[in-house]
């Protein structure tokens, strides 16, 4: 069992994990529709979350491009520098944060309150199988400078 779990480390790209979670949220909205909240309010909240996700993700991508380093999270050893500017001054994982906001928006928009459990599962999965492995690789590669950054900036928000 542990070997099977370790095989998941850094293997499934986070956008694919988010897509699978989005499909689960959509399925929950069909099987267990919970539309007790006004649709207009749900839509407004969903649009705000989507807007925030867009700003966060674009800002993160621009920061990585300006630093000329890889954005592929499956290969943290290919990172050429620690990006600590832009949105990375506030969160070490803005792209994952953006995906969590997108999933939250989808859950709210579809009226699938139980979908928020899927968002929580996404966060737990990303922490265990993606972020922890990235952090180990970055600590090994950059040593004290990464540890200093890690101590200064939160993992999520």
In a domain, 108, yes or no: yes
In a domain, 34, yes or no: no
Q: What's the mean pLDDT in 77-99? A: 94
In a domain, 107, yes or no: yes
Lowest-pLDDT range, 17-31, 62-76, 120-134? 62-76
Q: What pLDDT is attached to residue 7?
A: 54
DSSP string covering 22-69, please? Answer: HHHHHHHHHHS----S-HHHHHHHHHHHHHHHHHHHHHHHHHHHHHT-
In a domain, 47, yes or no: yes
Distance CA 11, CA 71 (A): 15
pLDDT higher than 80, residue 93 = yes
Which of the two residues, 10 and 130, has the higher pLDDT score?
130
In a domain, 17, yes or no: no
Which pLDDT band, with edges at 50, 70 and 90, does 4 fall under? very low
pLDDT in tens, 49-66: 999 999 999 999 999 999
The count of domains in the chain is: 1
pLDDT higher than 90, residue 17 = yes
In a domain, 105, yes or no: yes
pLDDT higher than 60, residue 23 = yes
Short-list 105, 118, 101, CA closest to 45: 105
Distance CA 93, CA 60 (A): 9
**For residue 32, what are the CA distances in angstroms to 45, 100, 112, 119, 132?**
20, 21, 7, 16, 33
In a domain, 56, yes or no: yes
In a domain, 89, yes or no: yes
CATH at residue 54: 1.20.120.1630
Task: Provide, rounded to the nearest whole percent, the portion of the chain with pLDDT above 70.
Answer: 93
Range of the domain at 131: 42-72+79-157
Which pLDDT band, with edges at 50, 70 and 90, does 25 fall under? very high
Contact 96, 126 (CB under 8 A): yes
Q: The pTM is what?
A: 0.91
């Amino acid at each position: 069992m542990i070997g099977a779990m370790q095989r998941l480390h850094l293997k499934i790209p986070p956008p694919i994990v988010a897509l699978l979670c989005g499909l689960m949220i959509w399925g929950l909205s069909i099987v267990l529709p919970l539309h007790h909240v006004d649709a207009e309010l749900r839509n407004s909240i969903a649009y705000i979350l989507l807007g925030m996700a867009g700003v966060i993700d674009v800002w993160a991508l621009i920061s990585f491009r300006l630093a000329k380093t890889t954005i592929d999270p499956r290969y943290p050893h290919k990172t050429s520098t620690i990006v600590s500017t832009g949105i990375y001054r506030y969160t070490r994982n803005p792209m994952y944060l953006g995906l969590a906001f997108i999933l939250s928006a989808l859950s709210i928009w579809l009226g699938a309150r139980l979908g928020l459990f899927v968002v929580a599962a996404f966060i737990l999965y990303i922490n265990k199988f993606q972020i922890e492995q990235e952090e180990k690789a970055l600590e090994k590669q950059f040593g004290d400078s990464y540890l200093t950054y890690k101590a200064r900036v939160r993992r999520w928000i």
